[in-house]
Amino acid sequence: MQRLQGKVAIVTGSGRGIGQAIAVKLASDGARVIVNDLDAAPAEETIGRIRQAGGEAAACLGDVTAPDFGQRIVATALERFGGLDIIVNNAGYAWDNVVQKMTDEQWYAMLDVHATAPFRILRAAADHIREAAKKEKAEGRSVMRKVVNISSIAIYGQPGQLGYAAGKSAVIGMTKTMAKEWGRYNVNVNCVAFGLIHTRMTQPMGSGEAVARIGEREFKIGIQPEFLEHMNRSIPLGRGGTPEEAAGAVYLMCIPESDYITGQMVLASGGFVM
């Protein structure tokens, strides 16, 4: 029997990379997944992969930082699949600069996507989770639900990533607080902090000059080759991870075997800590 059979999951930022791998992994174990991306094409690609493997998925397109997005994605899960059991707050990106050059726009963009967006989704889900838990208790049933917030080893400090590190650090405080608020409703709230995972966001700069578009903004993405080489040398396992390995760490926090783990941060970094 699939461990997540009958569960409904939200995975933000799941049109590409790690988010896509998480959505596909959860669906492969029986979850019905709400896929999110800014654009229709990446979301449809993820949904296509899930359906091709026999799973169920639906899209909720849009910017996670929009004020109404939290309500919209929760409503999509309830309307399309009749429930909500797993929330993976994965959407995010890095917009780097040293402090003297960082604008207010950059600073708030990092806090908005990494902290405010997950907050709004959790707030939007609160009524459903509370009412579902009360109903299940009255019926003599215990149903565990899961929240997995995504952080980064940037929390340990990296020059040029003040805003990104602040946003990803906020996620940890949110995780520990929500674990205490929602424990009474049988919700495990945990955080997975990734190290070097090989995606388009972490490719060497100069190898194709990948560009990210967030709203009206457009900027180059990637890592300086020298720093990437240093990271690879410093990882005890000897290499960066794959999106599928990153998804595996999130999956561990979603299955019944983690039902007594809450309020924790798990590093998925191959042993690397900055």
Verify whether residue 260 is a known catalytic residue.
no
pLDDT, residue 230, reads 75
What would the pLDDT profile of 217-264 be if each residue is shown by its tens digit? 776 666 667 777 777 788 999 899 999 999 999 999 999 999 999 999
pLDDT, residue 203, reads 67
Per the residue annotation, which of 156, 164, 185, 251 is the catalytic one?
164
pLDDT, residue 210, reads 66
- What is the CA 258 to chain-centroid distance, rounded? 18
What would the pLDDT profile of 27-38 be if each residue is shown by its tens digit? 999 999 999 999
- Classify domain 8-268 at the CATH class level: alpha beta
pLDDT, residue 211, reads 65
Q: pTM for the complete prediction?
A: 0.93
| Structural domain spans, the chain | 8-268
What would the pLDDT profile of 150-202 be if each residue is shown by its tens digit? 999 999 998 889 999 999 999 999 999 999 999 999 999 999 999 999 987 76
Q: Is it the case that residue 208 has pLDDT exceeding 90?
A: no
d(CA 239, CA 272): 10
